[in-house]
Amino acid sequence: MNPKQLACVVLMMLIGAVVYGAQMVHQRVVGMRMELENAQADAKAAKDSLDTAEIELAMTKTRTQDLRRFLEAWIPHIDRIQTQQEVEEAVEVSLRERGISLVISRKSEVRASRDDLVLPKQVLTSLVVEDEYAKVLNWLGDLERRLPLTRVNVCRFTGGSSGTQLRVDISFATPLVNLDANVKPGGKKA
Amino acid sequence: MSDFLCHDFKTPRTDTSRRLPSSFRMVPVAFYVALIGGAYFMTTDMMNYKRYEREKLEAELQKDDYDLSIAKTESEKSGLDEETMKAEAIAKWVEGARNVQPIGVYVARALGLESRITELSLERSEQVPANLSFSMRLLGGKMEELAKIESSLSRLNYQSLSPQQNKEEEVIEYRSTLVRRDY
């Protein structure tokens, strides 16, 4: 091989090297472009998911507005009665303020419910009182006003010891609400 | 130096190597073209590479922002759902905890002066707490007064279902199930 041929070979090798180098760089650029497209597609998908989540949130807000307002209105009553003592105290104050003189029997106990996370406990109260007709009815109204969550299970009015007297045998359940309960949708019963 | 030698030195010499084919003259040209083209393409590719890299980083940051916003939105929605479930539980309880005192008052108001309630009982249904089992014994009352009582109770949005009444001498026994009607 003469020097001219050798020079040509060297030049052609250099051309090959340049082309190869350019091709390698171009491949890297193509790879980066694909990565960019993937990243942009991911960002777009995330944007779509965000839009969907925002729509769902807005719909949930609208759908649950009344219920949440309802809960908000009940929170002060719920916060006021959180223990058995508070229930008993409310009953006691009601009886005293309404001037019910004869309390024949009174019993209260707490019943727990494992399944119910929001209403985990109920104070079951049984009372037998006797007094004038109007006083007894007014007391019952006052009791239901003081303990608005109270559910009267049984209420039996009978005649008292005299014609003007009324005897009421009542049993009611007052829930002790736990608003801090960790209730998960689809989880344990609320 | 002799003349012969000088002459001999200036004598044209034959090529020591063979000439290249004329097409090989394009090789240096191709080399320069490759050099210039390579430089151009590599420069533009490198510039594109940097731009793509920057845009990819931006897209990734944007995706992270969206993901964060999605997490926040879902957390807020989860909080709302939780609040709603609690509200539903309270509402369900309250639905079965309506006051019974007005029932006693309305029944008493519906009666005439000669009538007297000897017993009035209200028992809440365990299956449907909004419903009340109502029973009453009326002394010296008239059957028409029962209609008045039912009418009074309807003003409290209670409807008497399956009413049963029985009169023995002066005592009227009345039973029904009070079902709450929400209009």
Mean pLDDT of chain B: 87
- ipTM for the assembly: 0.82
Cα–Cα separations (whole angstroms), residue A152 to B113, B129, B168:
29, 10, 30
Q: Are B175 and B164 in contact (CB under 8 A)?
A: yes
Of B18-32, B78-92, B99-113, give the range with the top mean pLDDT: B78-92
Of A32-41, B6-15, B92-101, give the range with the top mean pLDDT: A32-41
Q: Using a CB-CB distance cutoff of 8 angstroms, which residues of chain A are in contact with residue B87?
A: 64, 67-68, 70-71
Q: Which of residues 143-172 of A touch B (CB under 8 A)?
A: 144, 148-159
Q: Search chain B and give the residue with CA nearest A3.
A: B17
Residues A127-167: pLDDT tens digits?
Answer: 999 988 889 999 999 999 999 999 999 999 998 777 778 89
Three-state DSSP at A107 gives strand
Q: How far is the alpha carbon of A159 from chain B, nearest alpha carbon, in Å?
A: 6
Q: What is the 3-state secondary structure (H, E, C) of B18-86?
A: CCCCHHHHHHHHHHHHHHHHHHHHHHHHHHHHHHHHHHHHHHHHHHHHHHHHHHHHHHHHHHHHHHHHH
A175–B38 C-beta distance less than 8 A: no
- Kindly state whether A20 is in contact with chain B, defined as any CB-CB distance less than 8 angstroms: no
- Kindly state whether A61 is in contact with chain B, defined as any CB-CB distance less than 8 angstroms: yes
- In this complex, how many residue pairs, one in chain A and one in chain B, have their CB atoms less than 8 Å apart? 217
Cα distance between residue B132 and residue B144, in whole Å: 22
Residues A79-93: pLDDT tens digits?
Answer: 999 999 999 999 999
